[in-house]
Structure 1
Amino acid sequence: MTPIRFSLALIAALTLTACEIAPKQPDVHDFGLPVTTINGSSANTPNIDIDAPKWIWDTRIRYRLLYKSPTKVNFYMLDRWIATPPELFKQQLITQSKFLRYPLSIKFLDFEQQFDTAKQAKVFMRLSVTAFSIDNKPLATREFQWHRLTPTPDAKGAVEGFAYLVRDAVNDIDQWLADFPIP
């Protein structure tokens, strides 16, 4: 084979290889489909205002290696939320809650996966919820927090763990709201 033919064959082979090795696109996740849809129409749903620190308004899935570098925040490169966690949470609350009779203000305080060891992780979520009367006066505020060991110490485990936490959060907030009088 002549040097020119060899060079052309090499260029063709490299070009074909480059076309086949496309960068992998991130997988996108949510908290799963609601088990049931209680509120058929969002027109009857009171206003839900969600506030969160800037870093929670991000579609990247965060984690922290508590055993190695507890002050460093990391992100999974090939996994993302389909929307920000506050948006996904609001959607789940609206579709699953039985007692959304009052306007709510929900502040995300924490939302991340934490590794205690290289082989053991948990997901952690902390919220402050304020219910308002129909005339916009605060009725009550409560801080909630949840944590759960993940089934696997990776992005898949984080997504699955957060799906469970969000269901727990919706149930706990719903139970709290159930004690409020009907407006």
Structure 2
Amino acid sequence: MQPVILLLTVSLIASTLVACVGINKTSQNIAIYDFGLSVPSESNQTNTLKVLLEEPAAVESLNHNKIRYRLNYQNPSRVFFYTESRWAGLPTELFSSKLSKIVNLTKTPMNCSLKLKIEAFDQVFQTVATSEGIVQLSALVVEKKSKKIISSQLITESVTSPSPNAQGGTAALQQASENALKKVITWGNMIADNSELCR
């Protein structure tokens, strides 16, 4: 009986090792995307924000690191996910990192804060071969003490994907996100400048 038990034990160990190798191989095949490294020229493109900037939030359906896409030509309301690609972090983390690179916070902020919420963050296919990265941000300028909403705005930006896959979609979403954030900063400053409550 002992040789049989030994053989079974060796087989079990071998199977476990094969399974572990398979798991590691699968993990290594997953492509990870972020918003890219900053380059020296970006330091000349920062925008000064005159109000307090709060941490970005996101709708519940975006609280994960999966890369979403939609097939508008087939079923616009259905959300798909790339199985072998992921974001490096949550969308809120990606946006926070991007904001730190493109925004200069004033040392003496006005009496208001800027709240951002990510409403949409999808690659949208209009045809099998053409897609775009679409970002929607809802923005609020709020008086700090009373929490009164002074103004709100929904900002949508889209950028054509260079290729109909995860690589093209993430590149388009990165650029659309930066464009949307810059618009939000400009809008927030304009609202604060024109509001008595922010002074």
1:36 aligns with 2:36: no
Indicate the SS of the match to 1:105: strand
Instruction: Give unpaired runs (5+ residues) of structure 1.
Output: 1-10, 40-44
1:115 shift after superposition: 0.7
**Of the candidates 160, 174, 180, which is equivalent to residue 171 of structure 2?**
160
**Which whole-Å CA distance do the structure 1 matches of 2:75 and 2:65 have between them?**
22
Q: How does 1:65-80 map to 2 (within 5 A)?
A: 65-80=71-86
Indicate how the Cα distance of structure 1 residues 75 and 127 shifts in structure 2: closer, same or farther if over 3 A, else same. Answer: same
Provide the identity percentage: 24
TM-score after normalising by structure 1: 0.76
Q: Which amino acid in structure 2 is aligned with residue 94 of structure 1?
A: S
Q: Please tell me the root mean square deviation across aligned C-alpha atoms, in Å.
A: 2.9
Q: Which amino acid in structure 2 is aligned with residue 106 of structure 1?
A: L
* Worse-matched range after superposition: 84-93 or 99-108: 99-108
Indicate the SS of the match to 1:145: strand
1:138 aligns with 2:149: yes
Q: How does 1:30-69 map to 2 (within 5 A)?
A: 30-34=34-38, 35-36=42-43, 38=46, 46-69=52-75
Give the aligned partner of residue 23 of structure 1. Answer: 26
TM-score after normalising by structure 2: 0.71
Give the aligned partner of residue 6 of structure 1. Answer: none
Give the aligned partner of residue 7 of structure 1. Answer: none
1:124 aligns with 2:134: yes
Q: Deviations along 1:55-107, whole A, 9 cap, x unmatched?
A: 21110000011222333211111111111112211221233124664422212
Larger relative helix fraction: 2
Q: Which amino acid in structure 1 is aligned with residue 170 of structure 2?
A: V
Q: May I ask how many residue pairs the two structures share in their alignment? A: 166
Give the aligned partner of residue 3 of structure 2. Answer: none
Q: Which amino acid in structure 2 is aligned with residue 161 of structure 1?
A: A
Q: How does 1:76-95 map to 2 (within 5 A)?
A: 76-95=82-101
**Which whole-Å CA distance do the structure 2 matches of 1:144 and 1:24 have between them?**
36
Q: Do the aligned partners of 2:134 and 2:157 also contact (CA within 8 Å) in 1?
A: yes
**Which whole-Å CA distance do the structure 2 matches of 1:128 and 1:71 have between them?**
20
